[in-house]
Amino acid sequence: MPDASAPPLWAAPALLAAVLAALGFVGKTITDLVLRLREDARVRRSRLTELYALLRAGDAAFAVQRELRVRLADQLRHRLPKTAELPPGFDRLFAATFADMTADERQLHALIRTMTVHTFRPLNQSLLEWLRADRYFRAISPAHRRLGSLALFLAQLEAHLVLWVAKYEAWIPEHPEHALVFLADEERHGVGFPMGGTTALAGLLGHPTRPAG
C-alpha cells in the first residue's frame, strides 16, 4: 500500500529543483560573503600601507632635519659665546641667535624651517585626514591581541597631531625666527610623537623593519 504522506511522483522534479535552487542561493550568498570579506581585508591592508608610507616619509624627513639642526646648533655655539648662557633647546637657540646668524647659518635655518613648513605640515595634515577617515582600526580595543598596539598608537598619534597643528599656527607663520615645531621638548607644549608605529605597521604588513633614511 503506497505511503499517503509521500509526495506524488510528479512533484519530485519540482521538489528537487527547489532544493537545488535553495542550495544555489546559499552557495551564492556564501561566495558573496567570502568575496566581500576578501575585499574588506584588501581595503584595510591598502589603508595600512598608505599609513605606513606616510610614517616612513616622516621618519626619513625627521632624520634629515635632525642632522641639519645639530649642524646649525654646533656652528652657533662654536661662534657665539653668548649661546653658553642660553637654556637648552634647538628652537630656543635658533630664535635667540636669528639676528646674529651669518649667511650660511641663515641658509641652514631656512632649510630647516622649510622642511617644517613644506614637509612636516603636509605630512601631518595627511596623517590627520587618514585618522579622520578611519572607521575600523581606531575602534579596536587596545586589548586586542594583534591590533591593540596599533589602536593605542593611533589614539596617541591623533592627540599629538591636533596639538602639533595648533602650535604650528601660533609658532611658524608670523615668526620667521622659529624653524621647528616640537611638543615634548624643553618647552613641554604638548605630547610628543608616539614611538613604535612604523615598526608595528611593518610587522602587520610583513615588511622588513629597518631604520628610514
Instruction: Please give the model's pTM, rounded to 2 decimal places.
Output: 0.77
Query: Can you give the residue ranges of every domain in the chain?
Result: 10-205
Name the pLDDT band for 190 (thresholds 50, 70, 90): confident
Residue 212 confidence (pLDDT): 44
- What is the rounded average pLDDT of the residues 77-85? 92
Residue 210 confidence (pLDDT): 56
Q: What is the largest CA-CA distance in the chain?
A: 117
Q: What is the 3-state secondary structure (H, E, C) of 144-183?
A: CCCCHHHHHHHHHHHHHHHHHHHHHHHHCCCCCCCCCCCC
